[in-house]
Amino acid sequence: MGRPSLALAFSVVLLAGTACAGTGTVRLRQERTGAIEWTPCGNVECGKLSVPLDHARPDGPHVTLSLARLPAARKPIGVLLTNPGGPGGSGVELVRDAAGQFPQDVRDEFDIVSWDPRGLGPDRPAECLEDLDAFYAVDRDPQNAAGVAKNVVASRAFVAACEQHSNALLPYLATEETVRDLDSIRTALGEQQISYLGFSYGTLIGALYADQYPTHVRAMVLDGVVDPARSYAQSAIDQADSFDASLQGFFAHCRTADSCAFAHGGDPAAAYNDLVAQIRAEPVPGKVDGESRTLGPGELDIGVASALYLGADGYDTLAAALAQTGSGDGSKMLELSDAYTGRTKGGKYSNETAVFYATSCVDAPSPPTVQRVQQLADRAARSAPHFGATTVWLGLPCTFWPVPSEGEVGPIHAANAPPILVVGALHDPATPYSWAVSVSKEMQTAQLLTVDGTSHTSYARGDGCVDNTVDHYLIDLVLPQRGEQCA
């Protein structure tokens, strides 16, 4: 089983870009659905489900999953299960934001349900380092042996903490276990079939589910798709190339758009390279939530990637942050970095980073030595000078991971599944369009919807063509015409 490279971490943070709104005529009430008792909690219903820690040993230790449900506004077609990505993104929070994430037609017709993946919630949480400032501050484009050594020290410290705090849990956080959790949720809901909508890494969960449980699928949408047939090395290079292309799109925007606050009318690419060199030589001070900090090359790379996830919608935000950084204030860029990594005041982080690595590092084999990582980073940097090295070095913890990978790289066919809709944006920075093309060919019943877009994932981002096409398929099971595009 393949996986995206480590730069995909926390894409869910930027997926949930619209604030939660009211739920209209939806009435929340306490009731039991199958094995799950739902109780009102804020604007949704919450429930819990106990599943085996090791699905191969159903009578062994269990872990409790936290779930959320937004009931349909009228008699539902069925259940729409959804996963926001990550690995490690909170499905509970996605459902809480459902009014901003799912069009009204879908909220009318489906009970929308999601869950926090194993390791994320309060029951048996995956824990590594509570303070990740030092881990994320490291320059992931090391310029010399000393820079490589800093990456090694930071990664080893992170992995050692994971092993110390979560050793008993780490062998059971692979995507394969999450796929079985998903079917346990379906069974607990009392549903013969489910509809599923997966974003980013959530597409890998969906594809594997369709492959293993094809008769349990009514409909499935995979948006911002991960290609499991790509090797670790090729995934890293593809993704770095895609982020670099997105950055070039930003530079082109700033050369002509009056709204761009960074090097407008000049040479934004040269200005950006100069700024990177300046920050590598001397970090820039900044203040977030009243806390004085410094912006170094590690946070700069993350902050830029954070804005690029939004595509063109994030260009002006990125320009403002870069302009402020160039004036000697790194506050806005630190805010972008914090949104990406889940940092809160005082250097506290959610455990999404722990879940991300704990899942990614066992899903597919990574480079076995630091030397091999360096070789891959050099190779990636030749085609993607801005994000090539960063993408590869972010994966260094997997080289030291205490649980061996048992995953295999290869296509998922889902041969007996119903028709599946794959949504791919031409300029997606995190999951390249080429992956969507490949997956739509690898999965035997899949059909591709091409979107002329620049953001990571396309659904519920204001494109009526995309939303109407996906909604029509989910509700009426009608696929778009083959070759159809949303401009």
How does DSSP classify residue 299? H
* E strand map for 339-465: 343-344, 348-349, 420-425, 446-451
**Distance from C-alpha of 3 to C-alpha of 458, rounded to nearest angstrom:** 20
Catalytic annotation, pick one of 97, 241, 428, 463? 428
Q: Residue 34 has what pLDDT?
A: 55
Helix (H, G, I), strand (E, B) or coil at 92: helix
Q: What is the pLDDT of residue 29?
A: 55
Please report, to the nearest 10 degrees, the dihedral formed by the alpha carbons of residues 370, 374, 376, 380 taken in order.
Answer: 150
| Chain position carrying tokens 């035997």 | 444
Question: Mean per-residue pLDDT for 106-134?
Answer: 93
For 420, list phi and psi in degrees, rounded to 5. -120, 135
Which residues have CB under 8 Å from 118's CB, separation 6+? 51, 53, 63, 65, 124, 172, 173, 177, 178, 181
Reported as a pLDDT band with limits 50, 70 and 90, residue 12 is very low
- The pLDDT-based confidence of 123 (bands split at 50, 70, 90) is confident
Reply yes or no on whether the pLDDT at 5 is more than 80.
Answer: no
Q: For residues 97 and 316, what is the distance between their CA atoms, to the nearest angstrom? A: 24
Single out the residue of 94, 13, 3 nearest to residue 352, CA to CA. 13
Token pair of 396, please?
């260094």
- Residue 7 clears pLDDT 60, i.e. is over it: no
Closest CA to 357 of 398, 299, 393: 398
- The yes or no reply on domain 6-120+176-230+412-486 and CATH 3.40.50.1820 is yes
Please provide residue 57's backbone torsions phi and psi, each rounded to the nearest 5 degrees.
Answer: -130, 75
Q: How much is the average pLDDT of 74-95?
A: 95
Instruction: Grade residue 22 by pLDDT with cuts at 50, 70 and 90.
Output: very low
State what percent of residues in the chain have pLDDT above 70. Answer: 93
Question: Dihedrals φ, ψ of 112, to 5°?
Answer: -90, 125
Per the DSSP assignment, residues forming a β-bridge with 194 are 217
**pLDDT on residue 27:** 55
Give the number of other Cβ atoms within 10 Å of residue 283's Cβ.
18
Mean pLDDT for the stretch of residues 76-86: 96
Length of the chain equals 487
More confident call, 37 vs 28: 37
Instruction: Give pLDDT, residue 175.
Output: 96
Tell me if residue 253 is catalytic. no
Please report the beta strands in 384-436, taking only residues with DSSP state E, as ranges in sequence order.
420-425
- Reported as half-sphere exposure (CB side, CA atoms, 13 A), residue 170 has a value of 23
37-58 pLDDT per residue, tens: 999 999 999 999 999 999 999 9
Predicted confidence band of residue 21 (pLDDT cuts 50, 70, 90) = very low
pLDDT tens-digit map of 342-387: 999 988 999 999 999 999 999 989 999 999 999 999 999 999 999 9
The pLDDT value given to residue 265? 83
Contact 243, 384 (CB under 8 A): yes
Residue 158: C-alpha distances to residues 165, 198, 217, 266, 438 (Å): 11, 29, 38, 41, 34
CB 361 within 8 A of CB 170: no
pLDDT tens for each residue of 165-202: 999 999 999 999 999 999 999 999 999 999 999 999 99
CA 181 to each of CA 117, 152, 208, 364, 414: distance values in angstroms, whole numbers, following the listed order: 8, 34, 12, 20, 18
Q: Are 215 and 416 in contact (CB under 8 A)?
A: yes
Considering the candidates 200, 306, 360, 440, report the single residue annotated as catalytic. 200
Q: Judge whether 420 and 445 are in contact, CB under 8 Å.
A: yes
pLDDT value of position 62: 94
Which residues have C-beta within 8 Å of that of residue 177, sequence separation ≥ 6? 54, 55, 118
Is 456 marked active-site? yes
Angstrom CA distances, 70 to 14, 107, 138, 221, 324, stand at 21, 8, 41, 19, 41
User: Euclidean distance between the first and final Cα of the chain, in Å?
Assistant: 32
Average pLDDT over residues 304-326: 97
| d(C-alpha 111, C-alpha 171), whole Å | 33
Mean pLDDT of 401-428: 95
In angstroms, rounded to a whole number, what is the distance separating the alpha carbons of residues 381 and 140? Answer: 12
Q: Is 264 a catalytic residue?
A: no
How would you classify the pairing of strands 217-223 and 420-425? parallel
Average confidence (pLDDT) over 423-434: 98
Determine the Cα–Cα distance for residues 161 and 121; give it in Å rounded to an integer: 18
On the question of pLDDT at 100 being above 60, the answer is yes
134 or 34, which is more confident: 134
For strand 62-70 and strand 78-83, is the pairing parallel, antiparallel, or unpaired?
unpaired
Specify the range with the lowest mean pLDDT, choosing from 23-37, 205-219, 418-432: 23-37
Q: Which of 417, 454, 466, 460 is nearest to 439 (CA)?
A: 417
The Cα–Cα gap between 172 and 345 comes to: 31
Least confident of 34-43, 183-192, 275-284, 458-467: 34-43
Q: Name the residue among 278, 284, 363 with its Cα closest to residue 330.
A: 284
Segment 204-227 shows an average pLDDT of 98
Residue 16 confidence (pLDDT) above 80: no
The pLDDT of residue 4 is above 50: no
Q: How far is CA 99 from CA 18, 104, 106, 145, in A?
A: 8, 8, 10, 50
Give the residue among 230, 206, 224, 231 at the shortest CA–CA distance from 216. Answer: 206
Question: What are the residue boundaries of the structural domains of the chain, listed by start?
Answer: 6-120+176-230+412-486, 133-168+231-341+367-399
Q: Is the pLDDT of residue 110 over 90?
A: yes
Cα gap 172→178, rounded to integer Å: 9
107 pLDDT above the threshold of 90: yes
- Given the DSSP bridges, would you call strands 44-52 and 31-33 parallel, antiparallel or unpaired? unpaired
Task: Give the dihedral of Cα atoms 448, 220, 114, 204; nearest 10 deg.
Answer: -60
Mean pLDDT for the chain? 92
Q: Mean of the pLDDT values across residues 430-441?
A: 97
Question: Of 440, 456, 463, 467, which one is the catalytic site residue?
Answer: 456
Q: How confident is the model at residue 30, as a pLDDT?
A: 56
